[in-house]
Amino acid sequence: LLGMIKQTPDLYLDELQEMLSVSCDVNISRSTIWRTLRRSGFMMKKVSVS
């Protein structure tokens, strides 16, 4: 998970969820992914629409 973030830091949680499902053959909820990232020191960034 952390390696995926380092390679592509602008991924959305649902994109991370799909990548984990495909590459690791696991189903992990977005909330679990977010909790793991937050505990690792990552913060959420809002996306604005122009």
pLDDT of residue 25: 94
pTM of the full predicted structure? 0.75
b vs e for 12-48, b when ≥16 Cβ sit within 10 Å of the residue's Cβ?
eeeebbeebeeeeeeeeeeeebeeebeeeeeeeeeee
pLDDT of residue 30: 94
pLDDT of residue 6: 84
pLDDT of residue 9: 82
Is 90 exceeded by the pLDDT of residue 50? no
Q: Where are the domains of the chain?
A: 2-39
pLDDT of residue 49: 60
- Tell me the pLDDT tens digit for each residue of 1-42: 888 888 888 888 999 999 999 999 999 999 999 999 999 888
